[in-house]
Chain A
Amino acid sequence: MAGSNDLKLLGMWASPFVLRVKLALSLKGLSYEYVEEDLRTKSELLLKSNPVHKKVPVLIHNGKPVCESSVILQYIDEAFAGTGPSLLPVDPYERAMARFWAAYIDDKMMAAWNQASKAKTEEEKAEAMKQSFATVETLEGALRDCGKGKPFFGGEDVGYVDVVLGGLLGWIRANDELQGVKPFDPERTPLLAAWAERFWSLEAVEPQMPDVSKLVEFGKMLQARQAAAGEGN
């Protein structure tokens, strides 16, 4: 199948990790077939394509599966290097910085948010929120110091870190209603708040973003399910 670029994305509409991949494909101007998975009845194709984690997103390129959102983003950037803008910078040091902040978003910021959502007592919740906010403040600092007044983490144009963080924006807005928390509060983290507005309204981004009211509904359903399960996870 010489020269064909058969792209298929296995995803789930509410997943921020899947959203990252959709955003990258959109920014690159790449066409693909999207397959919505029911995560409670995973398809043969999903199980075969991601036998290790059995999770979405999975990008299948000419029949070969790539898994894990950050791996997929870098793959798209490299396999389609001549198409559309580059996600990662050219300079190795700046690439290292981009990878660092992307890892920070996943390993520290998201981990803190997950802790906060699992907190059972008011005390635990307050402590977790404090930790959570500290990570957001660090990210604000990154945008200020590395961004140096430019509109995006990637500089003048959207880059890798913007996509990694951008994938979370739907849930960030939904959590405002679900938990009464504004993770990117314009008073406390003005740069991130402005970045969020700017990113969301990009032509290549807006159509991809999920319906926040649907996310809120989904979030409420998950909360109810968790409460019913008693202990939760």
Chain B
Amino acid sequence: MAGGGDELKLLGMWASPFVLRVKLALSFKGLSYEYVEENLRDKSELLLKSSPVQKKVPVLIHNGKPICESQIIVQYLDEVYSTTGPSFLPVDPYERAMARFWAAFIDDKFLASWLKAGRGKTEHEKAEGLRETFAAVETLERAFKECSKGKPFFGGDSVGYLDIALGALVAWMRTAEVRHGIRLFDASRSPLLEKWVERFGKLEEVVRVMPDIDRLVEHAKLREAEVAAAAANN
């Protein structure tokens, strides 16, 4: 789509790793867009209209048409802007299937376990969640080895779909490290991923959009206090 009339708007929330995925994709593609910070406790008309089913961020609005769900948005950007910036998904159908498989694993297993570790209702559930998270990390280490084939990123020489999917969670991981001393990708358990995190975090396109860790730590403390207060009041 050459030239003008191409309008991109991203509805987001600064602390959301799912929104960050989209910001990363836009950053790597070198695309300009209007960013709208949503107050998730007072959602805008536009958000409710654009994401009527889930009412969540991120929502990408392209020339007035909304796309929801972070992974779907990243694939959409990759397809529409196929000649702009790097391609996120590989060309070969089998490698694309591998990328989609691991992206699903990242959300359905890795992230799900981690959320359980943080938000589990009992100490037992949380401990189980943490164990499952570490197991998932080991699996992801193998995934990295398979996908990168000795190159610096999941996507090979340049950043790809999985680098974005997992990379967006790095800020949260750093927050967990600061607050709980838990290092998910450490040298003993996942040496390749540990190096990948450092490498990914230094990229200009990433630095540009990464949220401030100190701010995230404060935000996490506040949220936890709120949840605890709500539980105490029940």
Binding site for B on A (CB under 8 A): 52, 61, 64, 66-68, 70-72, 74-75, 78-79, 92-93, 95-96, 99-100, 103-104, 138
Contact = CB atoms under 8 A, between A and B. Distances in A.
Tell me what chain A mostly uses at the interface: helix, strand, loop, or mixed.
helix
Given A66-B101, A92-B79, A95-B76, 19 more contacts: A52-B139, A61-B94, A64-B94, A66-B94, A70-B100, A71-B97, A72-B97, A74-B96, A75-B94, A75-B96, A93-B67, A96-B67, A96-B75, A96-B76, A99-B72, A100-B68, A100-B69, A100-B72, A103-B72
B53 interface: yes
A57 to B, nearest CB: 13
Nearest to B96: A78
Nearest to B62: A93
A99 B97 CA distance: 15
A92 B97 contact: no
B173 interface: no
B102 to A, nearest CB: 9
B179 interface: no
Tell me what chain B mostly uses at the interface: helix, strand, loop, or mixed.
helix
25 contacts: A52-B139, A66-B94, A67-B101, A68-B104, A70-B100, A72-B97, A74-B96, A74-B97, A75-B94, A75-B96, A75-B97, A78-B93, A78-B96, A79-B93, A92-B76, A92-B80, A93-B76, A95-B75, A95-B76, A96-B67, A96-B72, A96-B73, A96-B75, A99-B72, A103-B72
B33 interface: no
Contacts of A79: 93-94
Contacts of B69: 99-100, 103
B82 to A, nearest CB: 9
A204 B26 CA distance: 41
B199 interface: no
A119 B75 CA distance: 37
A134 to B, nearest CB: 11
B94 A71 contact: no
Contact of B93 (A70, A75, A92): A75
